[in-house]
Amino acid sequence: SQTIHQWPATLVQPVGSPLSLECTVEGTSNPNLYWYRQAAGRGLQLLFYSVGIGQISSEVPQNLSASRPQDRQFILSSKKLLLSDSGFYLCAWSGAVSNEQFFGPGTRLTVL
């Protein structure tokens, strides 16, 4: 069966510090991968998606970047965090046939 992991689960970082969140998927090959941010009281916002290694599409301009160094690894990064980067970050995957997205457990990021 397929599983999706995210770490860390929670993170508290000072403004201006770098960020690296990791997402890995097991039990599937060549998944589509997604990074979302969920702000309190608002719907999930798609940040990035990837259809293959090294292929990243950005949905909104922002302070963040994404990379896919391996087939089942998706990384969300920032060089300098802003207060507005605080939120709940969710990684998701979908298969080539089914468009259902399966979400990871999420990372709660607090920027102070």
Partner 1 sequence: KNQVEQSPQSLIILEGKNCTLQCNYTVSPFSNLRWYKQDTGRGPVSLTIMTFSENTKSNGRYTATLDADTKQSSLHITASQLSDSASYICVVRTGGYNKLIFGAGTRLAVHP
What residues line the site for partner 1 (CB under 8 A)? 32, 34, 41-46, 49, 57, 59, 88, 90, 92, 94, 99-106, 108
Q: Closer to partner 1 by CB, 67 or 106: give it.
A: 106
CB of 111 to partner 1, least distance (A): 18
Q: Closer to partner 1 by CB, 16 or 93: give it.
A: 93
Q: Please give the C-alpha separations between residue 3 and each of 49, 70, 83, in angstroms, as whole numbers.
A: 18, 16, 31
Beta-bridge partners for 36? 46, 90
| Beta carbons of 57 and 50 less than 8 angstroms apart | yes
